[in-house]
Structure 1
Amino acid sequence: MIFLIPSAKEMNVDTPTYPQPLSPESQTLVNHIALLSPKELATAYKIKIPAAEIEYQRWQDLKNGQAKTYPAAYLFNGLMYRHLRQKPFTSAEEDYLAKQTFITSSLYGVTPLFDPMAPHRLDFNNKFSIDGQSLKNYWRPAYDHFAQMTSQPIISLLSSEFEDIFSPKVRENFYQLKFMEEKDGQLKTHSTISKKARGQLLYQAAHKNCQTIDDLKSLTFDHFGYQSDLSTERHLVFIKHQSP
């Protein structure tokens, strides 16, 4: 069983490792964006020049192999990652996550959770063109290849921005998880609920050493539980019930 998770905009730089080589796909992307001036980056990112100058230097460092890198699981600091890291990982939990969890990145492609990454500002909504292609189209062959090369069930904990990089025929084989909250007799969902729950579920999957879809269905966390009547074979719904 393999988990796919998104990267995050919020990053926490701590405990740097040595610079790491980029894949050919990532290096091509870096070479293109590193040609842009701070002014052009400010326009592309819709940010002010001082912030764009920081990003400009990051791209130059990446191009020249001088960027400091950090284990991705600790570099990213969004809600999902903070709830995944709710406790220090045991060696068994870290081994599980290292083998079964992959980050979908607009810079690095599909990457193991603990692989080193450099701080960067890039997502699939940025209007960069690489060899005449959008970031989404540029990465799709590599994303599809990753999914097609595994015989294990793929559990998508992705937002639509990241899941849509995979072609429709590949996506239809994913197991998709949805998280909802019971409130005042109604079921509600929003991004905060989903981000927290993705991290919590993944932590529990590692803690319980889940190996099958049925193992996932048995998980309970933060008042969430699997809801069979709202689920289908490949769409699993977890509901957070109100406390008594």
Structure 2
Amino acid sequence: MLTFLIPTAKEMKIPNESYPHALTSKSSAIIQEMSQMSPEELGKCYKIKEDAAQKEFGRIQAIHNNTAPAYPAIDLFNGLMYRYIKKELSTSEQLYLNQSVFITSSLYGIIPANFPIAEHRLDFHTKIKVQNQSLKNYWRKDYDNFVAEKEQIVSLLSSEFEEVFSAEIRQQFLKIKFMEDKDGQLKTHSTISKKARGAFLTAVVEHNIQSIETLKDLQFDGFYFLEDLSIDDQFVYIKKV
């Protein structure tokens, strides 16, 4: 069975329905560390302005005090990729999503797409230490262990998230690349990639993809698999514009 990994997003949109919030011991250690920081310290840590730092201070204190509501991660995140992921799913599509799609988080670790999380702002570039480790080092063993239990990982991650995994673990991933063909010139950039990741994931869920070979048959939002540019550990999808 294939397992798809996707990144978090900075932008969030609060869904209508909330759920109880729970933290693992590893996540609690991060919140404990951050809850001791003042808004000014958070601002320097995040490299954000005073009003944004004050907002984040409030979020962290709410999580720390167990008063923060939680929402399904895939509904809470509202970055460009997430806006291109189909949300209204059939029962079978929802089951596939729950079993096959996981989000890589710097606060929660690797979580199922619908795992309830609190509103927060944190990524692996944030300059904080937990148990004298960077966030990447802090999570590396857990991330590596997750992969060890899976048959095949399909990575829709940026380098920021892939670098949390050990180098030898990353070599096991099948990476997906998206390109646009404009008058014979192949181009890629973050906007193309983010939109295409969401559309790709939607197609994967809708077609109940179970194998690497069936990935090659996918067509979505004008993209199709291009064998000439693809290799064993990287599939390339192209769209003519």
Q: With the length of structure 1 as denominator, give the TM-score of the two structures.
A: 0.96
Q: Secondary structure at 2:84's aligned position in 1?
A: helix
Q: Measure, in 2, the Cα distance between the counterparts of 1:182 and 1:14.
A: 37
How far is the alpha carbon of 1:17 from its aligned partner? 2.0
State the match for 1:157 in structure 2. Answer: 156
Q: Measure, in 2, the Cα distance between the counterparts of 1:82 and 1:50.
A: 26
Query: Matches of residues 170-209 of structure 1 in structure 2 within 5 Å?
Result: 170-209=169-208
Provide structure 1 residue ranges, at least 5 long, that are not aligned to the other structure: none
State the match for 2:239 in structure 1. Answer: 240
State the match for 2:12 in structure 1. Answer: 11
Q: Secondary structure at 1:125's aligned position in 2?
A: coil
Query: Matches of residues 1-244 of structure 1 in structure 2 within 5 Å?
Result: 1-85=2-86, 88-150=88-150, 152-242=151-241
Q: Measure, in 2, the Cα distance between the counterparts of 1:6 and 1:50.
A: 26
Q: Measure, in 2, the Cα distance between the counterparts of 1:220 and 1:47.
A: 40
Q: Secondary structure at 1:132's aligned position in 2?
A: coil
Contact 1:5 1:102 in 2 (8 A): yes
Q: What amino acid sits opposite 2:188 in the alignment?
A: T
How far is the alpha carbon of 1:50 from its aligned partner? 2.2
How far is the alpha carbon of 1:94 from its aligned partner? 1.1
Q: Secondary structure at 2:4's aligned position in 1?
A: strand
How far is the alpha carbon of 1:15 from its aligned partner? 2.0
How far is the alpha carbon of 1:100 from its aligned partner? 0.3
How far is the alpha carbon of 1:93 from its aligned partner? 1.1
Q: With the length of structure 2 as denominator, give the TM-score of the two structures.
A: 0.97
Q: Secondary structure at 2:235's aligned position in 1?
A: strand
Q: What amino acid sits opposite 2:191 in the alignment?
A: T
Q: Measure, in 1, the Cα distance between the counterparts of 2:76 and 2:37.
A: 25
Q: Secondary structure at 1:192's aligned position in 2?
A: helix
Q: What fraction of aligned residue pairs are identical, expressed as a percent?
A: 50
In the alignment of these two chains, the number of paired residues is 240
Q: Measure, in 2, the Cα distance between the counterparts of 1:14 and 1:225.
A: 33
Q: Deviations over 1:12-44 (max 9, x none)?
A: 012242332101110001100111001101111
Q: What amino acid sits opposite 2:145 in the alignment?
A: H
Q: Deviations over 1:185-217 (max 9, x none)?
A: 110000011111111111101101110011111
How far is the alpha carbon of 1:224 from its aligned partner? 0.6
Moved more, 9-18 or 97-106: 9-18
Q: Measure, in 2, the Cα distance between the counterparts of 1:76 and 1:211.
A: 26
Distance 1:128 1:16, change over 3 A: farther
Provide structure 2 residue ranges, at least 5 long, that are not aligned to the other structure: none
How far is the alpha carbon of 1:233 from its aligned partner? 1.0
Please give the root-mean-square deviation of Cα atoms over the aligned residues, in Å: 1.0
